[in-house]
Amino acid sequence: MYHGQGPVGRDRATEHLIDVAEWAVTELRRSADYVQVYVSRTLEIKVECVDGKVLATCVEPHEGLGCLIRQGTRWRYRHVSPSAIGELLSWPAAAGSGTKPDDDRAGGGMSGPVSLSGWLPAWQGAAHPPAFTPTPAEEWLVRDTGNVHSLRTLEDFTSRAFAVVDTEGIRAASASRTVRQRVEATVTVNGHHYRGLSRRLVRGADTEGKYLPGADGISRIALGHALDSAAAEVRGKHRTPVVFGPAAAAGFLHELVGHALEGDNFALHSDYLTRLRRRGAVPEPLTLQDDPTRADGYGSYDIDDEGVAAQVTTLLANGEIGPPLSSVRTVHRDGYIPTGNGRRKHYRDVAIPRASNTVALPGKEDPEALLHDGSGGVLYVGGLGAGMINLVTGEYSFAALNCFFITPGGHRVPARDVSLYGDALDTLGRIEGIGRDFGGDNISCGKQGQMIGIGIHSPSMRYAELDWSAA
């Protein structure tokens, strides 16, 4: 049985939301064995600029209520906007009678008129609207570079307040603010176009007031990556040691291990997961955690989207895997311990087990020493792009970004369009060095149609003899 304990947050951003959630649970519990109500107000502002001019601005408020119920062994989810809250109250009884989950017939235990007064007011009428000043378009420009280039920038502001109440003791609320900045630089060399990327994340109070300084610095990093791509000389297929830089190493482990240890995936009992469970499948020096408590993580939170308090979960340590990341449904259905990893994109989405911040703990080795190899050279990977892992077989293929091939003589030769591929379990067994450095980054990760933010934090990490190709 699931018994969650979450902190109750009551401030101007959340106090009314938790009142609404408590009221809805009281109304709905008559027709279900378990009820969870999630109420949220989110404002997203997206500003896109190209070469110092604003191309588009998008303002998206999202506000509403989502309800998860269990009747016997069957789970159902329903979401409504503020104006449709009255329709929700007839749903559990209709659902239990065998009618469609979205059958909105009147009745089903509504105790009286539903008052919407003051519930989820429009952002324009809020007493304290979130303050956000976008970066002026010209601040992104990089001047006096001596090359032909173009800059596309994206600045995403998110202000979110939500409350969760359920029938097993959860009474919790939280509010957060983030700004994520991304730059795509394109250089033109001999009629060909080459791309470089960079990004930055800012959380909390630092997002208020004046625009964030340092935009041109992010642009310079992206431009530098684009110029490196234009100078790439490495081609063909290779098998060499591969060193993942800080954060990139955690991104790789997030794909190889993190998704496999999400509760719904873990319950599949695939061949890859069966092999991963065996002691010694991963090297003992590697410690991997899911840590939503970090102050600087893209996936950080004080409570998850089901009201469970944030906690550190050890995924890998001493050659063994830890407990799977869980949501309320996987706790009830599969008997997992609550880890506080039920996450969702919006109130329209049911919470599912998701990673927060994937963190690999530092080792003791000199990160520069990891790059040296006296025989055939080493590939350095600065980041990961698109790709996939087959959680049934363990086969993977990922694009690698910001790559260099380091020759036996120590020369760094840029490589572009790099692909890494292989078997995940075999790859994990090839870890041969963990640096004492440390760094972090932010990525967006998709699952079941929901794109959410994930933090990746780690030292440099070296693998022996991986397969890769460059075009």
Average pLDDT over residues 363-373: 93
Q: What's the pLDDT at 174?
A: 95
Q: What's the pLDDT at 96?
A: 55
Q: What's the pLDDT at 115?
A: 42
For residues 148 and 141, give the distance between their C-alpha atoms in angstroms, rounded to a whole number.
13
pLDDT at 77 over 70: yes
Average pLDDT over residues 5-33: 76
- pLDDT, tens digit (0-9, with 9 covering 90-100), for 126-153: 444 567 899 999 999 998 777 789 999 9
For residues 317 and 1, give the distance between their C-alpha atoms in angstroms, rounded to a whole number.
27
pLDDT band at 226 (very low <50, low <70, confident <90, very high): very high
> Cα torsion at 206, 210, 211, 212 (round to 10°)?
-40
pLDDT at 401 over 80: yes
Average pLDDT over residues 349-359: 97
φ, ψ dihedrals at 427, nearest 5°: -65, -45
- Per mean pLDDT, which range of 204-213, 319-328, 444-453 is the poorest? 204-213
Which one-letter amino acid corresponds to residue 446? Answer: G
Q: Which residues pair with 178 in a beta bridge?
A: 158, 203
- Give pTM, 2 decimals: 0.89
pLDDT at 93 over 80: no
pLDDT at 409 over 90: no
Contact 267, 458 (CB under 8 A): no
Contact 321, 315 (CB under 8 A): yes
Domain annotation for the chain: domains and CATH numbers? 15-230 (3.30.2290.10), 236-470 (no CATH)
DSSP helix/strand/coil, 71: strand
Most confidently predicted of 15-24, 373-382, 413-422: 413-422
- pLDDT, tens digit (0-9, with 9 covering 90-100), for 319-351: 999 999 999 999 999 999 999 999 999 999 999
Contacts of residue 113, defined as CB under 8 A and 6 or more positions apart, other chains included, come to: none
Contact 180, 199 (CB under 8 A): yes
Q: What's the pLDDT at 4?
A: 37
Average pLDDT of every residue of the chain = 88
- The 10 Å Cβ neighbour count of residue 354 is 28
pLDDT at 426 over 80: yes
Q: Which residues pair with 116 in a beta bridge?
A: none
pLDDT at 119 over 70: no
Average pLDDT over residues 52-75: 94
Q: What's the pLDDT at 6?
A: 39
pLDDT at 260 over 50: yes
> Cα torsion at 2, 6, 12, 13 (round to 10°)?
-60
Whole-angstrom CA distances from 152 to 82, 147, 203, 218, 222 are 36, 16, 22, 12, 10
Average pLDDT over residues 73-86: 89
The number of CA neighbours under 13 Å toward the Cβ of 433 is 23
For residues 125 and 241, give the distance between their C-alpha atoms in angstroms, rounded to a whole number.
58
